[in-house]
Structure 1
Amino acid sequence: MIRAQAVIDRGALAHNLARVRALAPGSRVYAAVKADGYGHGAVTVACALDQADGFAVSSLDEALQLRWAGIDKPIAMLSQQLDEFVCNQAGEHGFELVLFHPSQLAALEHYVGPALKAWVKIDSGMHRLGFAPNDVDEVEARLAKLERLEVVGWLTHLACADEPSRPETQSQLDVFARTTADRSGLRSIANSAGVLAWPAAHADVVRPGIMLYGSSPMCDRDAASYDLRPAMHLSAPLIARNRIAAGETVGYGATWRTPDAMDIGVIGIGYGDGYPRHAPSGTPVLIDGVQVPLVGRVSMDMITVDLRGAPNAKVGDRATLWGNGLDVDEVARHADTIAYELFCRLTPRVRFEVV
């Protein structure tokens, strides 16, 4: 029997990309496939998203993985520091650099390899990566002297777009607009939350990530309300159903006690597979078509659930940890984390299948 399994749905990925197109019809789409496609498999995701205009990754290694797999569309490296080797690889393979720090400019000024393309990142208020607005004139002047470099355009990243009532996003949009006024090149601002909630951020190129995988980035709306479909279905088998007397404890640390004589189910997945160890009692699991609560501590190989609500569940049935029928964002809320982390932390012990 297959133990923990993640089924990746290419149709769901393509559907979610179509939703991005519908929401931002005037923009090109660079699909974010960094961190191994948010844990879904970067090459699998990129092939499923073949209608995207380009892809966004973090590093040279991630970009090379896509190119070696035959992905021939533009690939932007969002947070890659530069040296001679990186620049030569970018020129040879046609990767787009993202420039965000003076040290990168110094590397480019000594570069003599193949022609390069680059985006310039502006720190519009997130204060993580990017050039300060007051420094952009100097940056542009330095880049203009580099014969082997073409500036594709200007980008920034939104810090609070998932909370539409907060003022920071509009402030960032204003800073970016002022800083890029009268400069040639494309503009790129919107992440998933920007695509969903900030039409003014759509600009020339959007860079959706988590929404492509069927999770909502918004604090107040779920994925289904945006017609997003889960791209990952994580399941594991019920390996035991045990009758436990009232007043007995379950699991390490004896942190949960049975209120009545009841059936406890043991499911073959744990933190060794990437299921969050800190998920508390009450975290939902779907089995036999109903949600049941996790009880006790998550173990390396197993979790235990209260089966009083699933009287017909039997050993061998597969439980859904997230995916079809159980929103990953609901699981993430119980575990005090976000879907991004749940997706990315799955370990090689999970068997992946692509459909």
Structure 2
Amino acid sequence: MARNLIAQVDLSAIRHNYQLARAQAPQARAVAIIKADAYGHGAIQVARSLESEADAFGVAAIEEALELRDAGITRPVLLLEGFFETEELPLIQQHKLWTALHSIEQLEKLEAYLERHPDSRGLHVWLKIDSGMHRLGIEPALAAGALQRLQALPAVEKLVVMSHFACADEPQRPHTERQLQQIDKAVAGHSVDLSLCNSAGVMHWPQAHQQWLRPGIMLYGASPFTEPQTVASRLRPGMTLTTEIIAVRDVQAGESVGYGASWVAEKPTRIGTLAVGYADGYSRHAPSGTPVWLNGRRTALAGRVSMDMSTIDLSLHPEAKPGDQVELWGANVTVNEVADWCGTIPYTLLSGLTRRVKRRYTDDQPF
């Protein structure tokens, strides 16, 4: 039926990956990061499959959180970027959301709001400290004062300190150790829960695990590391992206395929045309040679990815015909490998899939 381009999402694999994250720090709790529509996997479906065991969910902003609440998700939801306008605070209270707080300006807005609403209670605030990422967060020198001000607010029921690692996926660099030192100084003398670890931190930095983890990309079976890694080898792919051959043709030696005539046949070659292109989220930066999986073995792109179609070399697949399924990434060709060929990271490929790609869900334990 229609264009056979499908992202098959394995919810049991995502649960396995969440459990693997938790197993790295059994004493800790974990916020399952499902921002950006669960990195393209479907936030509502992923949240439903994890709701019985996830400690909380993490999203970028309140719009994503409200979609979860509208879908009946009741677990705590953390707004990783906090609130953008004071008008969001009543919604945060109404829907029992947790909010990050990453600037003195946000703290001042919160204090002013609570002064106008002195009966407010039950807020969960995650104070973000900039320990070296230099993107969001309160400067470490201001952290003690911010903690004192938050602890003085009766409405704040729970307070967690969070930070974010810039180079946890590059273990050979000293940046993470320096960030840990900054955090230690910032919270010295304060008894407060900490949340420091993204996926790379969960997988490689046990000294940083603390009370709360924040696994993201690893939930979906992709590794944040460019090199083999022990925990990464135990991840299961959360998505298999497949399409089909829609045409087969023969080209002669010296003939080119695709825009820009960038691929030229060195010998007579069969070419298969696939129903997938950059308008679906398959990267235009995928060069000739990028692997795909067809009929039990590999072949590769031949020619540029165009808006709606791509072409592959069928030299080693004399049996290939229109209608044959092709895996673009999944268990046989990992999304990490495709990202490497494209000069990017798996995050961009997964989260960049567009609405033209049909999502289908499987689960060995239906929720």
On whether the aligned pair clears a TM of 0.5, the verdict is: yes
Q: Which position in structure 1 is the counterpart of 2:112?
A: 110
Cα distance in 2, alignment partners of residues 144 and 187 from structure 1? 15
Q: Which position in structure 2 is the counterpart of 1:74?
A: 76
Measured on the aligned residues, the alpha-carbon RMSD in Å equals 1.4
Contact 1:4 1:269 in 2 (8 A): yes
Aligned-pair distance for 1:222?
A: 5.9
Instruction: Decide which of 247, 255, 258 is 2:254's aligned counterpart.
Output: 247
1:40 is aligned with what amino acid? H
Aligned-pair distance for 1:151?
A: 4.2
Q: Which position in structure 1 is the counterpart of 2:58?
A: 56
Q: Which position in structure 2 is the counterpart of 1:323?
A: 330
Q: Which position in structure 2 is the counterpart of 1:96?
A: 98
Aligned-pair distance for 1:177?
A: 1.7
| Residue 339 of structure 1 pairs with residue 346 of structure 2 | yes
The secondary structure found in structure 2 opposite 1:110 is helix
Cα distance in 1, alignment partners of residues 195 and 173 from structure 2? 21
Q: Which position in structure 2 is the counterpart of 1:353?
A: 360
Q: Which position in structure 1 is the counterpart of 2:87?
A: 85
| Residue 231 of structure 1 pairs with residue 238 of structure 2 | yes
Cα distance in 2, alignment partners of residues 264 and 223 from structure 1? 38
The secondary structure found in structure 2 opposite 1:107 is helix
Query: How do residues 270-309 of structure 1 correspond to structure 2 at under 5 angstroms?
Result: 270-309=277-316
Cα distance in 2, alignment partners of residues 305 and 110 from structure 1? 60
2:87 is aligned with what amino acid? F
Aligned-pair distance for 1:338?
A: 0.7
Q: Which position in structure 2 is the counterpart of 1:8?
A: 9
The secondary structure found in structure 1 opposite 2:89 is helix
Contact 1:30 1:208 in 2 (8 A): yes
Give the 3 Å change call, closer, same or farther, for CA 223–320 of structure 1 in structure 2: farther
Aligned-pair distance for 1:225?
A: 4.8
Q: Which position in structure 2 is the counterpart of 1:186?
A: 193
Cα distance in 2, alignment partners of residues 340 and 59 from structure 1? 18
Contact 1:272 1:347 in 2 (8 A): yes
Aligned-pair distance for 1:118?
A: 0.3
The secondary structure found in structure 2 opposite 1:189 is strand
**Deviations 1:186-231 (Å, cap 9, x if unpaired)?**
1111110001100011100000000000001112126885310111
Contact 1:215 1:222 in 2 (8 A): no
Q: Which position in structure 2 is the counterpart of 1:22?
A: 23
Cα distance in 2, alignment partners of residues 70 and 184 from structure 1? 34
Cα distance in 1, alignment partners of residues 218 and 103 from structure 2? 29
Aligned residue-pair number: 355
Aligned-pair distance for 1:144?
A: 3.3
Q: Which position in structure 2 is the counterpart of 1:122?
A: 129
Cα distance in 2, alignment partners of residues 310 and 203 from structure 1? 52
Give the 3 Å change call, closer, same or farther, for CA 20–225 of structure 1 in structure 2: closer
The secondary structure found in structure 2 opposite 1:272 is helix
Cα distance in 2, alignment partners of residues 192 and 9 from structure 1? 19
Query: How do residues 137-152 of structure 1 correspond to structure 2 at under 5 angstroms?
Result: 137-152=144-159
Cα distance in 2, alignment partners of residues 321 and 284 from structure 1? 8
The secondary structure found in structure 1 opposite 2:326 is strand
1:220 is aligned with what amino acid? E
Aligned-pair distance for 1:143?
A: 2.1
Aligned-pair distance for 1:150?
A: 3.1
- Superposition misfits of 4+ residues, deviation over 4 angstroms: 222-225
2:12 is aligned with what amino acid? G
Contact 1:82 1:107 in 2 (8 A): no
Q: Which position in structure 2 is the counterpart of 1:264?
A: 271
Cα distance in 2, alignment partners of residues 314 and 104 from structure 1? 59
1:24 is aligned with what amino acid? A
Cα distance in 1, alignment partners of residues 154 and 85 from structure 2? 18
Aligned-pair distance for 1:117?
A: 1.6
1:71 is aligned with what amino acid? I
Cα distance in 1, alignment partners of residues 277 and 356 from structure 2? 10
Q: Which position in structure 2 is the counterpart of 1:311?
A: 318
1:189 is aligned with what amino acid? L
2:321 is aligned with what amino acid? K
Aligned-pair distance for 1:140?
A: 2.0
Aligned-pair distance for 1:279?
A: 1.0
The secondary structure found in structure 1 opposite 2:270 is strand
Cα distance in 1, alignment partners of residues 321 and 230 from structure 2? 31
Query: How do residues 42-53 of structure 1 correspond to structure 2 at under 5 angstroms?
Result: 42-50=43-51, 51-53=53-55
Cα distance in 1, alignment partners of residues 14 and 61 from structure 2? 22
The secondary structure found in structure 2 opposite 1:240 is strand
Cα distance in 1, alignment partners of residues 321 and 42 from structure 2? 32
The secondary structure found in structure 2 opposite 1:177 is helix
Contact 1:216 1:223 in 2 (8 A): no
Cα distance in 2, alignment partners of residues 166 and 311 from structure 1? 48
**TM-score, L = length of structure 2:** 0.93
Moved more, 332-341 or 224-233: 224-233
Q: Where does structure 1 lack aligned partners over 5 or more consecutive residues?
A: none
| Residue 38 of structure 1 pairs with residue 39 of structure 2 | yes
Give the 3 Å change call, closer, same or farther, for CA 61–5 of structure 1 in structure 2: same
2:264 is aligned with what amino acid? R
Q: Where does structure 2 lack aligned partners over 5 or more consecutive residues?
A: 363-367
Moved more, 8-17 or 217-226: 217-226
Cα distance in 1, alignment partners of residues 55 and 150 from structure 2? 25
**TM-score, L = length of structure 1:** 0.97
What percent of counterpart residues are identical?
45
